[in-house]
């Protein structure tokens, strides 16, 4: 499992406005770092830079010590799975949506891959599970069910790094807790970057940084940050 390091990263979408002001943090291999902060702080920008939708103007981003600017795009993307807040599913079965991106694999192979990636707990309660032919269509699923499908689809590819970009923020808190607990159960040892805006949702993260105007304003465990509130 790789580590992820931001080393004095400077970035702005436009030359006249800097979003990240020399941002540094590390996600040790196999741990979970949560990034919280107000809307507009630059949280999603971090995810976009890690995926190289953009490149920083200063500093470096490293995966396992290697500058991602020197990693081939396809190799980089195979390493990182992102789960966004608003997943758009195909209006097809749950099975089709989960298996999307695994063209050529048989249902048995998909199911085996799902076992290997330990994602069955995400799917067992969904209508018709892996069956690509029958079951509820994507657009009819609830918000929580959609996010379960999105997470299952991402984890099925077994990426060593997972980025949750407000993946559960839009859900009611019971559904959110339910999904996070399942995530915690299945992703032991995965390197995870969890972007959130509620402190309550990231209680299980190993470490939390609070981002404010593109800088780390506080860092600590959940308990330490609550004490400062
Ligand atoms: P957060 O995820 O913390 O809410 P973002 O990383 O999405 O914040 O955005 C940080 C800042 O960058 C915001 O002020 C936002 O308006 C600006 N921004 C985001 N995307 C773009 C873009 N594509 N072009 C210009 N500015 C952007
Ligand atoms: P342990 O200390 O037992 O390894 P962690 O708190 O590190 O437990 O969590 C284990 C896994 O659960 C992490 O690798 C991560 O993938 C996942 N995880 C933990 N907290 C969250 C969270 N808030 N959001 C998403 N995934 C999480």
What ligand 2 atom has the least distance to the C-alpha of 187?
16
- State if residue 191 touches ligand 2 by the CB under 6 angstroms criterion: no
Closest Cα partner for 38 from 170, 196, 192, 185?
196
Task: Kindly list the distances between the CA atom of residue 125 and the CA atoms of 59, 93, 149, 197, in Å, as whole numbers in the listed order.
Answer: 44, 14, 11, 28
- State if residue 196 touches ligand 2 by the CB under 6 angstroms criterion: no
Per-residue pLDDT of the chain (229 residues; tens, 9 = 90+): 899 999 999 999 998 999 999 999 999 999 999 999 988 999 999 999 999 999 999 999 999 999 999 999 899 988 999 998 888 888 888 888 888 888 788 878 888 888 887 778 777 777 666 666 666 666 678 888 888 889 988 988 889 999 999 888 888 888 888 888 888 777 777 899 999 877 766 677 889 999 998 889 888 888 888 776 5
- State if residue 33 touches ligand 2 by the CB under 6 angstroms criterion: no
Strand positions, DSSP E, 28-65: 32-36, 58-63
> What pTM was computed for the model?
0.82
Closest Cα partner for 81 from 26, 2, 198, 143?
2
Q: Indicate if ipTM > 0.90.
A: no
Residues in the chain: 229
For the sheet with 80-83, list strands across it: 80-83, 161-165, 191-195, 32-36, 207-212, 215-220
CB atoms within 10 A of CB 65: 8
Under 8 Å between Cβ of 25 and 65: no
Q: For a pocket test of ligand 2, which of 34, 195, 204, 221 has the largest count of ligand atoms closer than 8 A to its C-beta?
A: 204
Q: How many whole angstroms separate alpha carbon 82 and alpha carbon 159?
A: 9
Q: How many whole angstroms separate alpha carbon 164 and alpha carbon 196?
A: 8
Task: Tell me, in angstroms, the distance from the centre of ligand 1 to residue 136's CA.
Answer: 35
């Amino acid at each position: 499992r790789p580590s992820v390091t931001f080393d004095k990263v400077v970035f702005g979408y436009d030359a006249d406005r800097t979003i990240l002001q020399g941002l540094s943090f590390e996600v040790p291999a196999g741990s979970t770092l949560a990034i919280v902060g107000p809307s507009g702080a630059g949280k999603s920008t971090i995810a976009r830079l890690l995926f190289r939708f953009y490149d920083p103007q200063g500093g470096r981003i490293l995966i396992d010590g290697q500058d991602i600017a020197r990693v081939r795009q396809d190799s980089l993307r195979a390493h990182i799975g992102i789960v966004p807040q608003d997943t758009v599913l195909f209006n097809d079965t749950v099975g089709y949506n989960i298996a999307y991106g695994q063209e050529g694999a048989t249902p048995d192979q998909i199911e085996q891959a799902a076992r290997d990636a330990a994602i069955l707990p995400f799917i067992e309660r969904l209508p018709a599970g892996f069956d690509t032919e029958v079951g509820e269509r994507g657009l009819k699923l609830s918000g929580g069910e959609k996010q379960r499908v999105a997470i299952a689809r991402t984890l099925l590819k077994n990426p060593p790094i997972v980025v949750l970009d407000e993946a559960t923020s839009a859900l009611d808190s019971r559904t959110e807790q339910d999904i996070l607990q399942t995530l915690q159960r299945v992703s032991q040892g995965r390197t995870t970057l969890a972007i959130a805006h509620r402190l309550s949702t990231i209680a299980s993260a190993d470490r939390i940084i609070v981002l404010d105007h593109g800088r780390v304003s506080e860092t600590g465990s959940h308990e330490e940050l609550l004490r400062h509130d």
